[in-house]
Amino acid sequence: MFPTTEKYGIINQMQRAVISVSSNIAEGSSRKSHKDQARFYQIAYSSLMELMSQIIICEDLSYMEKEVVEKYKDEIKPLSYGINTLYNSCIRKIKEKG
């Protein structure tokens, strides 16, 4: 699947992106202000999109088969929707406070 030369390359980047998604959701949920929460949810979403990009790159480099890539895309889609829901909820609350 992945060449050993990528152990500290794209594999490491993908691991960091995955950790960033969950870490930023956790940090955002612990913040008291909706503005801070929204910022961390936005970072989590960005990290998830970074992971998606890396998965596509892996397919382009023939490190992953198309079926595996499609499986990951199917798993990422509801996560991105959920993070966007959290973000939009915070933005609505910020606007309501006016």
Q: Enumerate the domain spans of the chain.
A: 4-97
**CATH architecture label of 4-97:** Up-down Bundle (1.20)
Q: List, for residues 26-44, the tens digit of each pLDDT value.
A: 999 999 999 999 999 999 9
Cβ distance 76 to 46 under 8 Å?
no
Residue 70, pLDDT score: 97
User: What pLDDT score was predicted for residue 86?
Assistant: 97
The H-or-E segment that residue 68 falls in is: helix 66-97
Give the 3-state secondary structure of residue 63: coil
pLDDT tens readout for residues 4-17: 887 779 999 999 99
pTM metric for this prediction: 0.92
The amino acid that residue 77 corresponds to is K
Comparing C-alpha atoms, which of 57, 62, 55 is closest to residue 77?
A: 55
